[in-house]
Amino acid sequence: MSKAAIIFLTTCFSILVVLYSATIKATPGNAIVIHYDAPIWIVLQCFLSQWLSLKVYGTLIPSKKEDNISIQFFLAVFVISGFIYLFLAIFLTLSLELFFGIQEIDKRHVSLLALSLIFLHVLNCGAVISFKLIKGVNEQRLDLERVQKLLLEKQLEAMQQKLDPHFLFNNLNVLSALIGSNPEIADEFLDKFTNIYRYVLECQDFKTISLDREITFAMDYMSLVEQRFSHAYKLDVECRRNTLYQHVTLPCSLQLALENVIKHNQGDRENPLWVKVIVTDHWLEVRNKIRPKVTTVPSGKLGLINLRKRSEMILGRSIEVMQKDGEFMLRLPLACN
């Protein structure tokens, strides 16, 4: 809370206290008597209480960890600052009253003065402690968010630097076979294979990538898949060309979606499985008919879980997974370029 807000609230509180006191003291049929300097004295007393509370808090805190303070610590702040405040406020108030001769000093007056000062200190020191508690909770929450964000960023870096090693070995085997049987196709296969790994290396330092580059990368990836599985899987991309340059997406997200389709669905040369990619204004949709493989592949769904975390952290929106009428659809969020 700003100093201006504290001054404003303290002043309003002091005026209300004076009005309440004057109303109680007023006798029926007589006007309410208000001393216009009264709010000033109460404001000064409130500021003294707040200042002493902060000073005692600051003096005691070095011996404690600020993120691990107890109720006993706050009680100590309240009691110590209270005794100091009571002594100083009574001494200063009585000294001024004696000097100006504006009040008769007796036991009753001193007792009432002490009670009113204790009341003020309870409210002011309580407010100071409450603000400190709220500030501490907010700081802990921000620290936790920073740690979580750092952890997610590290996970993101690890994911972006990783391409399935099986993909590498399987395609090297395909390349080896093509070199002996069809050198021309082997050259084309090697070009796309090189493009894929160049793209992965280039994307390591980027949290988002332009949609046109991601789709080009996915098409190169599917070319290798088609060659490896004898054209059992086909890719169809549907989008407006200007849309490709207006949006960004997560690097390798489309490749992960295609990899997920191939992992869980059966395709063959005579009846290939078509994977349709549709670009809309806000989503990158990946659709395919559900054709489960005869031999099931164990899946912990880590790929989609990590993809969801990346999407929420970087784009502020989650992926969407749907199954309807024998069709599987994965929607990847897009952001404006």
Q: What is the pLDDT at residue 101?
A: 67
What pLDDT sits at residue 181? 79
Structure tokens at 284: 């990158």
> Both tokens of residue 308?
């969801």
Note the pLDDT of residue 314: 85
pLDDT, residue 92, reads: 84
pLDDT at 289: 94
pLDDT at 162: 53
pLDDT at 328: 95
SS (H, E, C) 208-237: CEEHHHHHHHHHHHHHHHHHHCCCCEEEEE
User: Which one, of 307, 190, 170, 318, lies nearest residue 251 by Cα?
Assistant: 307
pLDDT tens, residue order, the chain (337 aa): 666 777 777 777 777 776 666 665 556 666 555 666 677 778 888 888 888 888 888 888 765 555 556 778 888 888 888 889 888 888 888 887 777 666 667 788 788 888 888 888 888 888 888 888 788 778 878 877 787 777 666 665 565 555 556 666 677 777 787 787 778 888 888 888 888 888 887 877 788 889 999 999 999 989 888 888 888 999 999 887 667 778 999 888 898 899 889 988 998 888 999 999 999 888 999 999 999 987 765 555 667 887 888 888 888 899 999 998 899 999 999 998 7
Please give the pLDDT value at position 333.
Answer: 93
Residue 233 forms beta bridges with which residues? 273
Q: Rounded distance, CA 298 to CA 196, Å?
A: 26
Give pLDDT, residue 178.
Answer: 77
Quote the tokens at residue 91. 């001494």
